[in-house]
Amino acid sequence: MARILTGIQSSGKPHLGNILGAMKPAIDLSNDPQNESFFFIADLHSLITIKDPQTRIDNTNAVAAAWLACGFNTEQNTFYRQSRIPEVCEMNWYLNCFAPFPMLANAHSFKDKSDRLSDVNAGLFTYPVLMACDILMYDANVVPVGKDQRQHLEITRDIANAFNNQYGEETFVIPEAQIGKEVMTIPGIDGQKMSKTYANTIDIFQADKPLRKNIMKIVTDSTPLEEPKDPDNDITFSLYSILADENQVEEMRQNYLGGNYGYGHAKQALYELILEKFAKERETYNYYMENPDLLEKELVKGEEKARVVAKDVLKRVKSTLGFI
């Protein structure tokens, strides 16, 4: 049996990149009866960027509702908010003392975000250590994530191996990353990696009108309507290709190459496809967002289960370090 673990930060509303890159593949794995899954909402991580409590609570509920909307089975698995298992903060200190400074300073995500954000705090710097705690605290074997998290998984493995080697015993289970081959990094409406913190996301749960308005903002070049267009260098086409079936993709490719087909037409097709593909998810999401007490019930149920494992692993670490 493998223990699967993955999380989404509540740094914004969940988006198409989170859903295709992390949630759907993770839920597929969780449906295998051989697996046991721990899926959580990384609300402590989101404090790096979100300082307003109500915004963070709203985002946390949105991420939780998205997991349920995408079909996560909370009866068989464990579903929780990171902050409700405060043992992770104690573990964070221990592992901070095993995380080499240059390794954190060289992390791509830190370099990238520290260039863009005005608030470059120590939490941003030590983000990968808290992530290592999230994973190691629950003895996870497999961590399904998007390609952007590959390096953070390597950091987790390095910290765990260093710890195990130093103490000559297997305190930590060494996790493996699982990165879907087809779904790599989903581009945002500006062509960079779709990210909650870059304000370039497509929120598939938005109401029809704002969703359409947002899709119409996808950046394009200025090729006139009547001229042929290059499908292989266009964000709308690339998003459409990720969601559509082969025939639909081929049809749109021919439209691009043939001319007299505008980017507005392609965006409209993408919008309609999203409404069609995610109809059920949109309905379930709205149901949970309108019934926050049901969400809360789901999360509290999972927190009790998660805490049992976290306490046990923390005890193992403290005992190894001589703190018990």
89 half-sphere exposure, CB direction, 13 A CA radius: 9
**Distance (Å, whole) CA 55 – CA 221:** 35
Q: Of the two residues 137 and 317, which places its CB atom closer to ligand ATP in the complex?
A: 137
Nearest-CB residue for ligand ATP: 21
Shortest distance (Å) from residue 275 CB to ligand ATP: 21
Cα–Cα nearest to 180, from 137, 150, 223, 203: 150
Shortest distance, CB of residue 140 to ligand ATP, whole angstroms? 13
Residue with smaller CB distance to ligand ATP, 188 or 255 = 188
Select 21 or 302, whichever has its Cβ closest to ligand ATP: 21
Which of 303, 282, 292 is CA-nearest to residue 41? 303
CB of 144 to ligand ATP, least distance (A): 7
| Residue whose CB is less far from ligand ATP, 194 or 306 | 194
Tell me whether residue 54 or residue 222 sits nearer to ligand ATP (CB atom).
54
Give the catalytic positions in this structure.
113, 193, 196
- Nearest-angstrom CA–CA distance, 108 and 48: 17
Residues that bind ligand ATP (CB under 6 A): 8-9, 11, 17-18, 21-22, 145-146, 148-149, 185-186, 193-197
Both tokens assigned to 315? 């005890």
Q: How far is the CB of 29 from ligand ATP (least distance, A)?
A: 13
Quote the distance between the C-alpha of residue 251 and its chain's center: 31
Cβ proximity to ligand ATP: between 19 and 317 the closer is 19
- Residue 266 CB, shortest distance to ligand ATP, in Å, is 20
How many residues in total does the chain contain? 324
Shortest distance, position 241 Cβ to ligand ATP, whole Å: 14
Are the C-beta atoms of residues 232 and 152 closer than 8 Å to each other? no
Which of 301, 300, 305, 281 has its CA nearest to residue 3? 305
